[in-house]
């Protein structure tokens, strides 16, 4: 591509900061330093920073190959602190006569080291855990060693789940069983009779108020979860009949995840606080008001109600919850409850980023065209004319001429009037035109609609050593946007525009939607690729949901993962979780690698006997086969 005219003052890290919106989505943890590298400030209370590029090189030197998931424990601690401090501030501002006791929903990231860190960092605030299934309850019971935090049991439950929860309440924990379906009440009655322990119960209300965006249907009359008003009244009556109304202490609702606008949150709070005071009036000793999850993350940094963003911050959220409950309880003369939120995404999204490497680029070939010879086809001369004659005034017309000439060239070829060489020349001329048009279009104030796609048509494909399905499944499944950018060379102008393709042989294994201030970009600004030097990209804010939803498409397994903690000086690697080896992923799909080796060896021996392969070749084949079994599933860099 002929080079874009550089800006007069040259490129700078500050221009990269603006281009990649890092101040919007990265604050206060990620920024760009004077070397043009992404820099991490894991604990915003301290000045200490980690150069992400240097860190990756350091980790690679320890044999931790890319793709690499890096977790910053101090960011996780900061997220928990922020949420708790926001509620504390709101509680004191409103003189609210109750406390906040959040729980972390285990489903958002169940990795042991993450959950253990959450329990540790949350201890000062009695931060608890939320389970959405039986396996998650088992995690919650094992992970919360001290009785401080709540354990909230959501999800569909069987006898075993409910009995386990009731028994755990029996020793020292505050375990609350939230009824999601009316049938669970019968199971709870039976279990409590059998065990002689009274359960602490909650009800999940099916609100009329709906969320927004992708998860809007988590609430509303036809929602999958929760009890209708009729069912809640039935729960009250049946509890009363059994003399167990004192067991009902919590109201729960959840209107979906990534609620990008504060409006539906306020509406839901209004409805839920009414249900709460009604429950109290009907005689239940209501102690907890649980607002569920939904606190959103600003993935694109735009601070709008766009689905990848949010138009409010944690403080506004906390203040709205506190004030709504405060008002409702004051008006109804009901004791203010302990406030509970189940914020997952907002706690764990920021703490991790994936770093991966570009392994190759496919670009539209652009060469300076030569004047077609005297006897050449008119089509070629037309294309050449479009190339030489284009100006910023007539670019749209030149685009029409060039596109038409290209179409005609293909028709002539099909009819046998154009040779293969002439067709190739037409293609080269057309791409040369597009390159020149694009340079003009990029400098226009307003771009005619039909030329807006030129950027996408001309985009390079950057092939990268990772799997979208394993590391960013929501990018594929629900078009979720994550901030993606180079982690170095940010003092250099990114003159290329590209999309990202992963290693899988699946055309869906690509990323062609990127964050933008306005809407969404189809191409990402990247640097010219030099195969002799590493070029690292980072995918940020991927700590929520991605790891567990990730799959083994093409048998690309879990990536290597490290936990980095700030030390007294610099940082240290607290845990290394090695990614899957090929043997491990083969076991997941029921292969036995030993018998696979045997099978290949037998075939090689046969080929050797038949003289199809030499002894040295057999040895090399078996060595590659056996070495690969213990290797990482991703590409290894050539040494
Ligand atoms: C998924 C879920 C959460 C977490 O939601 P976030 O949007 O990640 O905060 C909380 N509570 C329940 C019941 C959930 O299903």
On whether both 401 and 321 belong to a single domain, the answer is: no
Whether residue 636 lies inside any domain: the answer is no
| Judgement on whether residues 242 and 290 belong to the same structural domain of the protein | yes
* 43 located within any domain: no
Pocket test for ligand 1, best of 79, 108, 290 (most atoms within 8 A of CB): 108
Q: Where are the alpha helices (DSSP H) in 415-496?
A: 420-442, 454-457, 468-471, 473-477
Q: Is the CB of 102 under 6 A from ligand 1?
A: no
Residues 114 and 259 in one domain: yes
Q: How far is the CA of 478 from the centre of ligand 1 (A)?
A: 17
Question: Structure pTM?
Answer: 0.93
Same domain? For 129 and 200 the reply is yes
Residues 331, 383 within the same domain:
no
Mean pLDDT score of the chain: 94
Strand blocks (E) in 80-165: 103-105, 128-131, 150-153
Cα distances (Å, whole numbers) of residue 596 to 554, 606, 633: 18, 16, 17
Asked if residue 593 has its Cβ within 6 Å of ligand 1, the reply is: no
Measure 292 CA to ligand 1 centroid, in angstroms: 6
Q: Which of 455, 488, 513 is the last residue of a domain?
A: 455
Please tell me the distance between residue 311's alpha carbon and the centre of ligand 1 in angstroms.
19
Residue 249 in any domain: the answer is: yes
Rounded to the nearest 5 degrees, what angle is found at the Cα of 113, between the Cα atoms of 111 and 116?
Answer: 105
The percent of residues in the chain predicted with pLDDT above 90, rounded, is: 87
105 lines ligand 1 (CB under 6 A): yes
Query: Which class for 572: exposed (0-12), middle (13-18), buried (19 or more C-beta within 10 A)?
Result: exposed
Specify if 2 maps to a domain: no
How many separate domains does the chain show?
3
* pLDDT, position 607: 96
Residues 385 and 323 in one domain: no
- Answer yes or no: are the C-beta atoms of 332 and 277 closer than 8 Å: yes
Residue 480 counted as domain residue: no
Q: Which pLDDT score is estimated for 639?
A: 60
Q: CB 283: neighbour CB atoms within 10 A?
A: 13
Considering the domain architecture, whether residues 382 and 301 belong to the same structural domain is answered as no
Q: Can you give the pLDDT at residue 1?
A: 41
My answer on whether 251 and 392 are in the same domain is no
Residues 242 and 123 in one domain: yes
Q: Is the CB of 154 under 6 A from ligand 1?
A: yes
Domain that includes residue 336, residue range:
94-341
Shared domain check, 384 and 331: no
Q: What is the pLDDT of residue 2?
A: 41
pLDDT on residue 9: 66
* Pairing mode, strands 484-486 and 520-521: unpaired
The CB density around residue 426, as the number of other CB atoms within 10 Å, is 24
Q: Is 213 in the pocket of ligand 1 (CB under 6 A)?
A: no
* CA gap 223, 208 in Å, rounded: 9
If the chain, 639 residues long, is cut into consecutive pieces of 10 residues, what is the mean pLDDT of each piece? 53 97 96 98 95 97 95 98 98 97 97 96 96 96 87 96 92 91 96 95 91 72 84 97 97 95 96 97 97 97 94 97 98 97 98 97 88 88 93 92 93 94 93 92 87 88 97 94 98 96 93 92 96 97 95 95 92 94 97 97 96 96 96 87
Q: Is 342 in the pocket of ligand 1 (CB under 6 A)?
A: yes
- For residue 3, the model assigns a pLDDT of 45
Pocket test for ligand 1, best of 215, 253, 257 (most atoms within 8 A of CB): 257
- Are 327 and 180 contained in the same domain? yes
Q: Is 265 in the pocket of ligand 1 (CB under 6 A)?
A: no
| Ligand 1 centroid to residue 219 C-alpha, Å | 12
Q: Could you tell me if the CB of 164 is within 6 A of ligand 1?
A: no
Q: Is 64 among the domain residues?
A: no
Residue 173 CA to residue 342 CA, distance in Å, equals: 18
| Shortest-distance Cα residue to atom 10 of ligand 1 | 293
List residues bridging with 31 in a β-sheet: 39
């Amino acid at each position: 591509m002929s080079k874009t005219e550089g800006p007069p003052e040259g490129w700078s890290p500050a221009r990269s900061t603006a281009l990649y919106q890092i101040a919007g989505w990265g604050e206060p943890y990620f920024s760009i330093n004077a070397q043009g590298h992404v820099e991490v400030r894991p604990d915003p209370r301290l000045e200490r920073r980690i150069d992400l590029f240097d860190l990756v090189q350091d980790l690679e030197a320890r044999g931790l190959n890319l793709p690499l998931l890096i977790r910053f424990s101090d960011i996780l601690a900061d997220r928990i602190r922020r949420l708790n401090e926001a509620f504390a501030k709101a509680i004191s501002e409103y003189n609210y006569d109750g406390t906040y006791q959040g729980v972390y929903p285990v489903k958002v990231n169940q990795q042991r080291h993450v959950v253990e860190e959450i329990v540790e960092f949350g201890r000062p605030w009695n931060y608890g855990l939320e389970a959405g299934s039986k396996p998650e309850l088992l995690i919650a019971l094992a992970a919360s060693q001290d009785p401080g935090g709540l354990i909230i049991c959501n999800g569909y439950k069987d006898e075993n789940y409910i009995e386990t929860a009731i028994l755990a309440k029996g020793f020292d924990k505050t375990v609350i069983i939230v009824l999601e379906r009316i049938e669970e009440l019968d199971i709870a009655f039976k279990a409590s009779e059998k065990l002689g322990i009274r359960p602490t119960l909650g009800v999940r209300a099916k609100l009329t108020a709906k969320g927004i965006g992708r998860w809007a249907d988590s609430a509303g009359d036809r929602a999958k979860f929760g009890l209708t008003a009729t069912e809640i009244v039935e729960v009250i009556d049946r509890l009363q009949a059994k003399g167990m109304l004192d067991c009902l202490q919590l109201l729960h609702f959840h209107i979906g995840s990534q609620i990008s606008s504060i409006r539906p949150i306020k509406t839901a709070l209004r409805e839920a606080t009414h249900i709460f005071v009604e429950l109290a009036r009907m005689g239940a000793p209501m102690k907890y008001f649980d607002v569920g999850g939904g606190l959103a993350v600003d993935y694109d940094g735009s601070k709008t109600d766009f689905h990848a963003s949010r138009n409010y911050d944690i403080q506004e959220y906390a203040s709205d919850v506190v004030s709504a409950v405060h008002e409702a309880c004051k008006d109804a003369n009901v004791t203010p409850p302990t406030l509970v939120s189940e914020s997952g995404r907002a706690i764990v999204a920021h703490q991790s980023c994936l770093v991966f490497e570009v392994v190759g680029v496919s670009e539209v070939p652009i060469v300076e065209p030569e004047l077609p010879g005297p006897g050449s086809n008119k089509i070629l001369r037309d294309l050449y004319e479009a190339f030489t004659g284009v100006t910023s005034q007539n670019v749209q017309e030149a685009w029409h001429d060039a596109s038409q000439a290209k179409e005609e060239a293909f028709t002539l070829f099909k009819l046998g009037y154009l040779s293969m060489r002439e067709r190739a020349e037409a293609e080269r001329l057309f791409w040369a035109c597009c390159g020149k048009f694009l340079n003009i279009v990029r400098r226009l104030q307003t771009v005619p609609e039909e030329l807006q796609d030129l950027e996408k048509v001309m985009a390079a494909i950057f092939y990268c050593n990772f799997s979208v399905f394993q590391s960013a499944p929501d990018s594929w499944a629900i078009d979720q946007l994550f901030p993606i950018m180079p982690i170095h060379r940010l003092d250099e102008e990114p003159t290329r525009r590209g999309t990202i393709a992963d290693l899988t042989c699946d055309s869906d294994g690509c990323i062609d939607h990127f964050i933008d201030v306005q809407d969404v970009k189809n191409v990402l600004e990247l640097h010219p690729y030099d195969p002799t030097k590493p070029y690292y990209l980072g995918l940020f804010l991927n700590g929520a949901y991605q790891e567990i939803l990730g799959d083994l498409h093409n048998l690309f397994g879990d990536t290597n993962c490290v936990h980095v903690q700030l030390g007294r000086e610099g940082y240290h690697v607290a845990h290394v979780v090695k990614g899957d080896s090929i043997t491990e992923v083969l076991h997941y799909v029921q292969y036995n690698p030993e018998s696979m080796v045997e099978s290949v060896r037998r075939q090689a021996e046969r080929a050797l006997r038949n003289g199809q392969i030499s002894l040295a070749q057999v040895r090399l084949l078996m060595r590659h086969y056996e070495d690969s079994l213990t290797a990482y599933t991703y590409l290894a860099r050539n040494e």
